[in-house]
Amino acid sequence: MLGTFHGVTEKYLQEYFDEFCYRFNRRFIEKQIPNRLLNLAIIHLPVKST
């Protein structure tokens, strides 16, 4: 948590910990997002206007 939060108080400690866990659990997923979006764009059929 050092470097991410400038001050940790007991009042918000659980929220800081929750955000840290969220970021930690998704640390590799963010690198995959551009590739996933590109793959979806390639395989997606064009939408026809009526």
Residues 13-36 have pLDDT tens digits of: 898 889 889 888 888 877 788 888
Half-sphere exposure of 3 (CA within 13 A, CB side): 0
Number of CB atoms found within 10 A of residue 15's CB? 10
Cα 46 to Cα 35, 43, 49: the distances in Å are 19, 9, 10
- Dihedral angle over CA of 10, 13, 14, 17, nearest 10: -160
pLDDT at 5 over 70: no
Q: How far apart are the first and last CA of the chain?
A: 53
Domains in the chain: boundaries:
10-43
Q: Is the pTM of this model over 0.85?
A: no
